[in-house]
Structure 1
Amino acid sequence: MTNARTTVADLDPEDAKIVTLARSVRARTGAAEGAAVRDTDGRTYAAATVALPSLKLTALQAAVAAAVSSGAEGLEAAAVVTAADQVDGDSTAAVRDLTTTGPIFRVDASGTVVDTA
C-alpha cells in the first residue's frame, strides 16, 4: 500500500475518470461509499453501497459485480470513495479476484487519493 496523497489532477486521465465516477455515485446516492472499476476493455462500472435487509455489499463489491455481470474478465483499476481508514478486506478481495496488480485507489470525499493498494 502506498500512502502518497495526491489529487485527481495528478492521476492518469483514465484513473482520474474512475475516481470522478466513484465520487459522483456517492454524492448522488448519499451512500456511505461510492466506487468505480475499469475493465481490461476500458469499460467503467460504478456503484454505491448496497444496504438492504437481504443484501449487503460494499460499493467496491457492487462495482465488481456489475463488471462481472456485464462480461468483464479482468480489471485494470478500481477506486473507492470512503471515510474508512482502509479499504475493506472483502472489497479488496473482490478486486483481486480479477486483477492481482491493478491499483485500488482509496479516496476521501474531497477527491484526494489518500492511498493506493
Structure 2
Amino acid sequence: MADGELDPEDAKIVTLARSSRARTGAAEGAAVRDTDGRTYAAATVALPSLALTALQAAVAAAVSSGAQGLEAAAVVTAADAVDADSVAAARDLTAGVPVLRADPSGAVVETLA
C-alpha cells in the first residue's frame, strides 16, 4: 500500500510516527489518533527502570491525556511485525483498532485489522 492510497488522517499518523523515530534515533516510532481526532506520538523507551515499545508509549500518552478510544494507530519499524504486546495495548483501549505497520521510509506494508 502506498502513502498516496492512505486516508489523509492515517498518512498523518504515519508521518508523526516516522518523525518520532527519526528525531530520537529509536528502534520504533508510533502515533495514535483518538476518537476526538487528537494525535499522540512516541518513540521506543528503553531505560533501566522502564521499557515501552513506541506504540505502548503512544497509547500511554493518549490515555494519560484522557482519550477514551482510538480510531487508528501506526508503527514505523524495520521489524517484520508489530510486537504483540504493542497491539494489545492499543486494543485494550479499543478492540479491533487498525494498526498500520510502515517501514522506515514511511511506506505502509501491513494493516492489522
Scaled by the length of structure 2, the TM-score of the pair is 0.97
Which of 14, 20, 39 is 1:19 aligned to? Answer: 14
Residue identity matched to 1:105: L
* Distance in 2, Cα, partners of 1:106 & 1:112: 8
Q: Which residue of structure 2 lines up, in the alignment, with residue 101 of structure 1?
A: 96
Match of 2:22, SS state, is: helix
Q: Which has the higher contact order (CA 8 A, sep 6+)?
A: 1
Q: Is residue 2:84 matched to residue 1:89?
A: yes
Give the Cα–Cα distance (whole angstroms) in 1 for the partners of residues 24 and 5 of structure 2.
26
The equivalent of 1:54 in structure 2 is 49
Q: Kindly provide the CA deviation profile for residues 56-81 of structure 1, in whole angstroms up to 9, marking residues without a partner as x.
A: 00000000000000000100000000
Question: Percent identity among equivalent residues?
Answer: 80
- Residues in 2 aligned to 1:43 and 1:58: alpha-carbon distance in whole angstroms: 20
For 2:74 and 2:17, locate their aligned partners in 1 and report how far apart those are by CA, in whole Å. 7
2:74 aligned partner:
79
Partner residue of 2:64? Answer: 69
User: Is structure 2 residue 26 aligned with structure 1 residue 31?
Assistant: yes
Q: Verify the 8 A CA contact 1:7 1:111 in the aligned structure 2.
A: no
More displaced 10-residue stretch of structure 1: 8-17 or 52-61:
8-17
CA RMSD of aligned residues (A): 0.7
Q: Give, in angstroms, the shift of residue 27 of structure 1.
A: 0.6
Count of residues in Structure 1 that have an aligned counterpart in Structure 2: 112
Deviations 1:33-70 (A, max 9, x none): 00000000000000000000000000000000000000
Structure 1 segments of 4+ aligned residues over 4 angstroms from their partners: none
> Could you tell me how far apart the structure 1 residues matched to 2:13 and 2:109 are?
15
